[in-house]
Structure 1
């Protein structure tokens, strides 16, 4: 079970953060007397407004960036699957030998990419077999020599689809190789969260149970946002990941659209 999974997040990480924040509150309340907290409460309130605002801005920007990266990866996969589907569809209109060769390479590539390369991307790796098949596909398309205007039009369309296919594949692998956030960003996020929650310890409510509830809710909100970054930061791993479902259209074309 990986760290970016639902059980780990909702049963370990988030409850652990909340429990740690409550333990910290209890320790501070035991070590500081009531008059000590009263003396620093006014100053702490102004500082907390500054710290809370700065941390909220940083946290919000990184959450948006992680979700944007996830959306970009999804669109890239759709673009790749659409491009290879177009190549397969156009290949069905080419002469027999060329059509069979291109379609057989596409079938092999789709199988290799979805069954072998996709699991490897969870750890930032790629499949040499899938790359070799992608190269073979490009060579097969480029080696065709059109002999009529109709074939020239199909060839031009295939060139555009091959270019889109290669660009999308390269972007997909680049995103997969950049797993999660840099360590520095995690350090800033975690340290900022600890400081933000820690500032609540310097406010004293007469009802200690109410202060426990407020601190727990604040730490839970921060932990949920951190978990959101963790889940969406790596688009090809964990329980929230992009699957190669779009390639099913390519399989449909290969199975249902007859060769010319």
Structure 2
């Protein structure tokens, strides 16, 4: 699916998909009646309606699978963002209680990494990829942590927790970047698209009486609604209403506040 579609608001995606499916089915039905003139015997009308409903149901089931996959990805994305921001906050607190001369550079690099996530990587994920600048900021943070030399027993005991938080932050970052990829597998999209196309093509063969017209409009409208939901949930970070970077901004503010409190507590009266 082209990325620019995900930047549309939800109402526009719904209007385009529903209107497009209805227009394709109704337009194909009108063209078939005008140019082909195919008419089925009366006894086969009911069978055709039944096949149309069966294919429409199958297409809706496939679209529901796409929607469930996207919804699960959206929920996991929200949790991952919260957990990553929590890991940043925990690492910042651990560094703040160490000797200032040893951890000052690491704290600055952690804040720089968090700012890069907010201002550089978030727009990059909306385009479907990561930010090399943010990767460089994380690597710089990692090297800064390796340069910390504990000065007492409490700091030596704290270093394993610092490295554990750093590795957890790396894992959560990789999981977040993976979540920026499509939630619905390409094979499922291909099968769903083919099934939806076949259903819309079959709808053009429905008879022109009122019952056939009602089935055509209802089925094509439902297919459009299902398609709009599947598209809206496919790429959580590419949507115009994607998860906000608020947890990272909150973690950054808390780090700055914690550093300020630590500086005040260590300053002589």
TM-score range, shorter chain: 0.7 to 0.9
Deviation (angstroms), 1:131: 0.8
Q: What's the secondary structure of 2:79's corresponding residue? A: helix
CA contact (8 A) 1:40 1:202 kept: no
Maintained 8 Å contact 2:84/2:169: yes
2:18 is the alignment partner of 1:17: no
Structure 2 counterpart of 1:192: 195
User: What residue in structure 1 maps to residue 253 of structure 2?
Assistant: 252
Closer, same or farther in 2 for the Cα pair 1:244/1:156, shift >3 Å?
Answer: same
Q: How does 1:160-175 map to 2 (within 5 A)?
A: 160-175=164-179
SS at match of 1:2: helix
SS at match of 1:146: coil
Alpha-carbon contact 2:14-2:228 (below 8 Å) kept: no
Spell out the pairing of 1:28-43 with structure 2 (5 A cutoff): 28-30=32-34, 31-32=36-37, 36-43=40-47
1:117-156 maps to which residues of 2 (within 5 A)?
117-156=121-160
TM-score normalised to the size of structure 2? 0.82
TM-score (norm 1): 0.84
- Contact 2:96/2:103 (<8 A) preserved: yes
1:194-252 deviation per Cα after TM superposition (whole angstroms, max 9, x unaligned): 22234344444743xx6434422322221122122222211211323122111022222
Q: 1:38 to 1:201 in 2, by over 3 A?
A: farther
**In the alignment, which residue of structure 2 is the partner of 1:72?**
76
Contact 1:63-1:228 within 8 A present in 2 as well:
yes
Query: Which shows bigger deviation, 108-117 or 143-152?
Result: 143-152
- Structure 2: give runs of 5+ residues left out of the alignment: 264-269
Instruction: Give the stretch that moved more between structures: 39-48 or 131-140.
Output: 39-48
- Secondary structure of 2:5's aligned partner: coil
* Distance in 1, Cα, partners of 2:59 & 2:209: 28
Go from structure 1 to structure 2 and tell me whether the alpha carbon gap of 1:37 and 1:79 turns closer, same or farther (over 3 Å shift).
farther
Cα pair distance change 1:218/1:43, threshold 3 Å = closer
Name structure 1 gaps, 5 residues minimum. none
Partner of 1:55: 59
- Alignment CA distance shift 1:168-1:201 (3 Å): same
Does the CA-based 8 Å contact 1:231-1:239 persist in structure 2?
no
Q: Choose from 74, 85, 89 the match for 1:85.
A: 89
Q: Confirm or deny: 8 A CA contact 1:37 1:204 kept in the other structure.
A: no
Does the C-alpha gap of structure 1 residues 37 and 150 become closer, same or farther in structure 2, counting only changes over 3 Å? Answer: farther
CA distance in 2, matches of 1:179, 1:220: 25
